[in-house]
Each structure stands twice: as structure tokens, then as C-alpha cells.
């Protein structure tokens, strides 16, 4: 039932889209303001600063095309400084003081959870560009990063099928994304017949630097005679000492491969990658994708930054997709009014950087290819696996009780983020709206 409804949603979303009546632009000033909400300091700056930079590039390029609705775009950049409560304060400031038409930002799920009630209360629009744990669908958030079925599950399948992995280390930073993702993966692995004693789970705080004991434990866990792999949801600058310690203890990809969900080209730029060759990452985009669209993007990126050594990565592509979707929806709606733009976004399809297009689905997630890449000694990835087509992001996991019967569809008349296909009832934000 759930999969049938999702397929129906997909077919509808991939059509031309809804016809939205035009209206006067919501913004009254000479410019349309766009919020950029990324940590430029603190533990997450290693990952988020580049997303601020790519947003400035995208806004500059759109202004060269004439802006949106005949108006120039103006970036409003704030620094929540890897401070999760400060994300909410800065989001409120962007929406109430700066009057931005949309916000592009956040990286960690705890920062997204911090701002979510602000966007719902003030009816703002957030484009969230990073892979996350799922188990959420808000009318005011558009999830352009991967859901677990677009990254974590395919990565585990790859390791099982191609590496013969039987023992699993689920290593993550101690917050909601790793814990929920690992809960989904643990359920999935057990469904695949993996025994509890063959799953080791470990969490460390943000910015963790002393990995000697943990890596020794991983090495010992992998010496039981069964092929072992590490599934890493370690975030931010803790990745640098983690990978260094792997090398220090002689753990090679041929012995215990690591597949990471939060390590891309930007993070590898600060690491000596030679000892890490062969370790893996699962994303929906790599800089090494060899298509004309990606080559043009990389050329523009290096020209904008005036630095031939700057790399591109998956969350940058997610912002590229999300920003172009927002522009297209605003132009389709003829206004920046959030209600009209939110409705207009469903069904919008724009080019991605892998040679195809991505569409915004009724659950506010997008269609994406899934790629597995091996780390190379130059800090790039050799793509070793790619899905033959696009994968629709699944907001509610099929492997968790309480979630497997839920779907999200933000189109009228359902307008619900967690509709239970068994009970026929809507919970959460959609139910609250219906009760008003």
C-alpha cells in the first residue's frame, strides 16, 4: 500500500507540475533577499563554509541572468557558529528582521531540528542540502540531501554484495543523525540476517580527537575471521584525526573498509589521503563525475573562488539543485509568497550535475542517483557503483516500526507529512493545519 502510493506520487510529481496563478511579488523592495544559514566558525566550519561560498556564486550567476521576477537577489549571510540554539535565533532573525524569501542552510540534523519550529511558526522556506536520517517531513522544509534509502542503505548493500562484509561497525558522532541512521541500519542488517554480536556501535562527541582506543577496538572487532567494515556517520572536523588514526594503526581498505556518509572532497582536502586509498564514501554526486554539466559547474566554481584548488562536493550540488528549483518555482508562481512558492515547488524538475535531472516530490524530497566512490590519492573519488536510474527519497523508513506505514504528501487535499496508510489518519503538522 505504502509503495503503491509512493509510486503514484512519483508519477504525478514528474509531470509538468501544478499550474499556479500569478500575483504581485511578495517582496516590496528593489531586491529579493535570500538567507544563507551556515556555520562559518566552530567544529562544522570545515564543511559548511564552502556551502556559503557556493550560495554566493549561485546568487551572483542568477543576478547576471537578470535576477528573479525582474529583481536582483541579495544574499544575507549569518554565522550560527556550530551552535545549535543559535541556529534558531539566526533563522528567526533572517525571517523577521531581514525578511528573506527563502533560506538555504544547516548541515547537522540537530541544527535543522533547531530551526524547524521557527520555519513552521513563521511560515518560512528552508532548503536543507545535506544527507540526513529521514523520519521527518515538514511543509516548510525542502530536503535536497539524501534520505537513508538514497545513501546509507545502498552503501550497506554495496559492501555486502561486493566486499562480502559480515561484521559491521556503526561509528558516528553523538547526535540525532547518526543515532537514527544507525537505528535504521541495525534494523536493516538484522532483517538481512546479521546477528547482534556482529554489529558494533560507537558514538563520540563533536570535535572528538583521541581515536587511539576506539580504532584499536575496531581493529580487534575486525579480527574475528569475518570480513568487517566501518559505516561512518562521523561529522565535522573529527574526521581528520579519525582517518589519521586508521593510518597510524595500519588499517587499510583491503582489511577493514570504511564507507563514510559525511566525508567528501572538501573534508579530504585537509587530510593526507595516500594511506586512505580504497576507503569509500556514498553520495549522490562526486566532483569526478564526467559529464559536461559538471565540467561547466567546476569551471565556474574555480573562477568564482579564484582558486584552482577549490573542490566541489555533494552538498554543493544539493544547493545547486535546490536554488534552481526555488528560482523556477518563484517564476512559476509569479511571487515570492511562501504559500504559493511551497505549492509551486512540487513537481519542479531541474538539471543536476550528474547528467540528468532531479524532481521535487510531494514529500519535499528529491530524486537522486546513488554513487559509491573510492578515495584516490589526489583527494578525489573513483566512482565504483552508480544506480541505473534516480531514487526517490523515502522520508519514513520502511525498516522501523511506527514509520513503515507512513507517507508524506504536501499536496491538497492530503497536505500531510505523516499520513498513516493503515489508519487513514494524519499526524503532526498536517493534522494541526486541518484542525484549524
Contact 115, 136 (CB under 8 A): no
Distance CA 413, CA 15 (A): 18
R_g (Cα) of the chain, nearest Å: 21
Domain boundaries, the chain: 2-147+292-368
Burial (Cβ within 10 Å: 0-12, 13-18, ≥19) of residue 405: middle
**In the prediction, which pLDDT does 4 show?**
53
Distance CA 180, CA 230 (A): 17
**In the prediction, which pLDDT does 22 show?**
35
**In the prediction, which pLDDT does 273 show?**
87
Residue 140, C-alpha cell as written in the block: 516548510
The CATH label, of 3.40.50.2300, 3.30.420.40, 3.40.50.10490, 3.10.350.10, for the domain at 2-147+292-368 is 3.40.50.2300
Contact 351, 292 (CB under 8 A): no
Distance CA 137, CA 139 (A): 7
Of 154, 127, 129, 150, the closest CA to residue 138 belongs to 127
Q: What is the 8-class DSSP label of residue 335? A: S
**In the prediction, which pLDDT does 268 show?**
87
Contact 48, 39 (CB under 8 A): yes
**In the prediction, which pLDDT does 239 show?**
87
**In the prediction, which pLDDT does 18 show?**
37
**Contacts made by residues 12-15, CB under 8 angstroms, sequence distance 24+:** 12/347, 12/362, 12/411, 13/346, 13/347, 13/359, 13/360, 13/361, 13/362, 14/347, 14/349, 14/359, 14/367, 15/347
- Beta-carbon contacts of 189 under 8 Å, excluding residues fewer than 6 positions away, are 156, 168, 199
Distance CA 145, CA 395 (A): 11
Is the peptide bond prior to 413 cis by the omega test (within 30 degrees of 0)?
A: yes
One digit per residue, the tens of pLDDT, for the chain of length 436 reads: 455 545 444 444 444 333 333 333 344 468 999 999 999 999 999 899 999 999 999 999 999 999 999 999 999 999 999 999 999 999 999 999 999 999 999 999 999 999 999 999 999 999 999 999 999 999 999 999 999 999 999 999 999 999 999 999 999 999 999 999 999 999 999 999 999 999 999 999 999 999 999 999 999 999 999 999 999 999 888 888 998 899 899 999 999 999 999 889 988 886 788 878 999 999 999 999 999 999 999 999 999 999 999 999 999 999 999 999 999 999 999 999 999 999 999 999 999 999 999 999 999 999 999 999 999 999 999 999 999 899 999 999 999 998 999 999 999 999 999 999 999 999 877 554 443 3
Of 47, 38, 83, the closest CA to residue 238 belongs to 47
Contact 104, 118 (CB under 8 A): no
In this prediction the pTM is 0.88
Amino acid at each position: 500500500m505504502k509503495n503503491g502510493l509512493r509510486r503514484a506520487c512519483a508519477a504525478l510529481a514528474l509531470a509538468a507540475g501544478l499550474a499556479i496563478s500569478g500575483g504581485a511579488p511578495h517582496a516590496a523592495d528593489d531586491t529579493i533577499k535570500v538567507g544563507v544559514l551556515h556555520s562559518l566558525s566552530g567544529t562544522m566550519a570545515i564543511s559548511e563554509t564552502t556551502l556559503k561560498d557556493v550560495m554566493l556564486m549561485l546568487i551572483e550567476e542568477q543576478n547576471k541572468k537578470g535576477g528573479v521576477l525582474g529583481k536582483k537577489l541579495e544574499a544575507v549571510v549569518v554565522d550560527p557558529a556550530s551552535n545549535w540554539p543559535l541556529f534558531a535565533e539566526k533563522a528567526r532573525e533572517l525571517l523577521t528582521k531581514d525578511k528573506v524569501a527563502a533560506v538555504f542552510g544547516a548541515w547537522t540534523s540537530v541544527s535543522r531540528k533547531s530551526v524547524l519550529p521557527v520555519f513552521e511558526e513563521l511560515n518560512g522556506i528552508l532548503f536543507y542540502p545535506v544527507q540526513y536520517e529521514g523520519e521527518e517531513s515538514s511543509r516548510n522544509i525542502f530536503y535536497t540531501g539524501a534520505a537513508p534509502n538514497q545513501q546509507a542503505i545502498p552503501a550497506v548493500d554495496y559492501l555486502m554484495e561486493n566486499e562480502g562484509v559480515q561484521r559491521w561497525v556503526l561509528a558516528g558522532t553523538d547526535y540525532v543523525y547518526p543515532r537514527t541512521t544507525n537505528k535504521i541500519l541495525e534494523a536493516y542488517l538484522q532483517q538481512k540476517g546479521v546477528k547482534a554480536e556482529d554489529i558494533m556501535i560507537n558514538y563520540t562527541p563533536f570535535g572528538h580527537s583521541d581515536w587511539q582506543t576506539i580504532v584499536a577496538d575496531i581493529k580487534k572487532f575486525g579480527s574475528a575471521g569475518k570480513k568487517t567494515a566501518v559505516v561512518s556517520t562521523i561529522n565535522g572536523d573529527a574526521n581528520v584525526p579519525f582517518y589519521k588514526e586508521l593510518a597510524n594503526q595500519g588499517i587499510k581498505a583491503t582489511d577493514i573498509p570504511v564507507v563514510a556518509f559525511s566525508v567528501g572532497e572538501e573534508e579530504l582536502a585537509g587530510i593526507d589521503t595516500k594511506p586512505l586509498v580504497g576507503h569509500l564514501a556514498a553520495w549522490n554526486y562526486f566532483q569526478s563525475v564526467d559529464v559536461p554539466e559538471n565540467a561547466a559547474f567546476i569551471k565556474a566554481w574555480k573562477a568564482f573562488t579564484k582558486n584552482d584548488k577549490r573542490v566541489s562536493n555533494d552538498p554543493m550540488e544539493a544547493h545547486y539543485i535546490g536554488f534552481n528549483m526555488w528560482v523556477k518555482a518563484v517564476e512559476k508562481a509569479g511571487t515570492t509568497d511562501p504559500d504559493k512558492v511551497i505549492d509551486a515547488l512540487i513537481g519542479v524538475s531541474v538539471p543536476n550535475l550528474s547528467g540528468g535531472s532531479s524532481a521535487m516530490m510531494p514529500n519535499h524530497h528529491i530524486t537522486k542517483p546513488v554513487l559509491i566512490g573510492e578515495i584516490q590519492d589526489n583527494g578525489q573519488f573513483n566512482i565504483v557503483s552508480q544506480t541505473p536510474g534516480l531514487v526517490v527519497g523515502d522520508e519514513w523508513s520502511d525498516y522501523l516500526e511506527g514509520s513503515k506505514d507512513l507517507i508524506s504528501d504536501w499536496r491538497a487535499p492530503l497536505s500531510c507529512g505523516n499520513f498513516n496508510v493503515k489508519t487513514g489518519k494524519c499526524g503532526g503538522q498536517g493534522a494541526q493545519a486541518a484542525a484549524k
